[in-house]
Structure 1
Amino acid sequence: MINEETLSSFKKRFNDNRENVVIKNAVAKVGINDVSFNNEALRRHNFVFSEETKKGEITNQKNSGRCWMFAALNTARIDTMEKLNKDTFEFSENYTLFWDKLEKSNYFLDSILDTLDEAQDSRLIAHLLMAPVQDGGQWDMFAGILNKYGAVPKEAMPETFHSSKTAILNDILTSKLRQYAKDLRIAHKDGKTIGELQDMKEDMLYFIYNILVKALGEIPETFTYEYRDRDNQFHRIAESTPQDFFNNYVGWDLEDMVSLLNAPTKDKPYGRAYTVKYLGTVKEEKQITYINAPIEALKKAAIESIEAGEPVWFGCDVGKMSDRQLGIMDSKAFEYDLTLGEGIDLDKAERLDYGESLLTHAMVLIGVDLDNEGKSLNWKVENSWGDKVGKKGIFSMDDAWFDEYTYQIAVNKRYIDEKWMKALDKPIIELEPWDPMGALALVK
């Protein structure tokens, strides 16, 4: 029990340590992180890397949670820049946002129809209603959008107020979808047939479409793209469809792209493939699939991809041990044990098990600094927060940070050892909808 005697004891213990008084004053002035920052970390990050891929100009997701889209399109644009002979290029993230919102709405309503007999107070229904249409997503979810809808240059569908500031749009869509979930469940209890419920769902989807067109703009079915290449030569690509543009100027076989996961928890043995129940965007596309492997397998695949000139999409817990303005992601960036008296004593598995860490952000690995034996020292990271943070938008990640806070990469399967690819020959293990490996889809 906290009583006067307890508080008096606490106060005496605190003030008897004069360092506490000095630290208290410093923290009050500049905050815990600035006081705890380990200046030696700066010496470990010179932003020079032995291996680098090409990159375009830094992009900016602004006030939205579209990091996974920006990271995926920033990875894809390298092939586009090569084929168009351009120094930079940007796809329309608004275009893919539109389809993501519409497809997520459909996925959510289908999930409600699949769970009509589930108790209203069940954990599953509570999870589905928590965030039916947030901005976040996983690599395979985006691959499904590209597969179905292709991609367009930014000029073909520019940003709007609500593509750059998604909070209000998300709130309205979420409220409407929760109402629709209620309507469908009540109609089911009233004896409506599944056909009648599907008709209701189609009208619901039209209203979502109506909102999206008003907030994000109409989707271009065809477009003309004009540009000058790096030799100042003019080009016109006339009347292209989004699917043709993606196929012709990216040309990926999305089936070749595989997600490697590093989740060192007891419930997820290495060498097995996993999916997350009720997590997806395009309903008819393949389910989200990750292969869980040791962190060294992720590093090896990422290094080989970078050495081949191919950037690597990755998901991590960006808020841990990172300084946004300096662009440093360092496992010893903050010495909380010195300022606060104790550090946070949890390993990677324990952080996952106890809710201390999960996937919060996606970025692109565009370089790595290797020592003479080929071991990774630091990683070059392209972020999508504009060029006012980091070193003009570029971040440096130390190798130990990769170990501790990187959870997922997406690479071409040719860079993955066959022993890990064999996981796809075994039954895929289904994780519960609230598993931390699905958390990136809940980013706002």
Structure 2
Amino acid sequence: MMNKSLIFVLFFCLLWFSTLSQNKFVVQNKKQSHKIKFKLINNLIVIPVEINGVTLSFLLDTGVSKPIIFNFLNVSDSLNIKNTESITLRGLGGGESVEALKSSNNIFKIGDAVKLNQDLYAVYNSNLNLAPRLGFPVHGIIGFDLFKDLVVEINYSKKFLRLTSPETYETKKCKSCEQLNLEFYNGKPYVNVKVNLDNMDIPVKLLIDSGGSDALWLFEDEERGIKCGEKYFDDFLGHGLNGSVYGRRSKIKELSLQSFVLKNANVAFPNTENIFHATQIKDRNGSISGDVLKRFNIIFDYRKALMVIKKNRKFKDPFSYNKSGVELAHDGIRVIQELKRNDSKTTNESQVKKGELVYSNALTISLIPAYAVVELRPGSPAELAGLKIRDVILSINGKKSYQFTLQQIMHMFYGEDGKKIKLVVDRDGEVLSFNFKLKKLM
């Protein structure tokens, strides 16, 4: 006869497998809630995602409906992807649709949140490699499928996510918070806010796009008074699924999210030909992205169609922009030789970990990251100084470039008006020096 404890164990296991077999993310712990640390890189959230037993780095993007893997990195070979079919995808950018393989029955794990039957899309377009621009490996993007199943808290100030089962989530009273109602179209969340343009308050419906690093994009609409003012400059805005996006950068007087008002916020007006498909969505007026979102701690509850926001310590940070006109990207590695004093007779373990090969007591060969110019704004300080696309940065303001991360270098270009920048570059084997000052354009 089966004892009671064994019956209980079998019942618990059956219940656990029944819950786990559902086609949704389920948090597998007693609290049904789990906290996950993330990296914030260029206003973008990067989280660890385990797919079929392989841990990868994914961008958390409220602007995508299905997970996408950048398959040119050859990650699919180790993921054991099955049941594929060819499809085409469209997004921002003026290029053609991209081909992808749709795969089903994949096991996704984010912290203690597990889903056993997840679709994903493997894209082979090499232009979708985010790693060079971020200086950090990113293998894919995930969004709606996680948000629709769980209550997602994004704490930008402490850099963690909290994933909680909606059935056990308890809404806490918060006098210093604001609640915004969400609307959904094709699995993407939209919010109604107000912008002040030419001293007029204009209601707008914006996509919440945590996968964008800018503050705000607006689609020009003369009838509604949504248009770029006289103070602006033309610039590269970013990469979409179907190519590069260009447009005009400017400022708006105010962005109002209920009682929270951000003043003198950055805004970009993308060129119409780069965003044609986005403008076809009824009543959409643009996007609200990372440079705004990071100023709040946010709770997304898709089942209740709610977004709860609370100001954090970044709220009053001034909005800035790249005053140099140059965009850099990680461009592989460089090999350098350095003379170093080395009293030991053998290479030690720490030198091996740093990627250093010691051939003698004096000569050390190291592998270091290469940062190259990939975008150059016409008429910008960097362009007028003589920089060219594909120049490789050797040093900046007297320090070797490899002593910085890519984001640290780019942050220097957002400095104060008039700040001096000295770059030493490698141009096809020739070492050149350039000097310029950051210039405020608006």
Q: TM-score, normalised by structure 2?
A: 0.21
- The structure with higher relative contact order (CA 8 Å, sep 6+) is 1
More strand by share: 2
- What is the TM-score when the length of structure 1 is the normalising length? 0.21
Higher helix share: 1
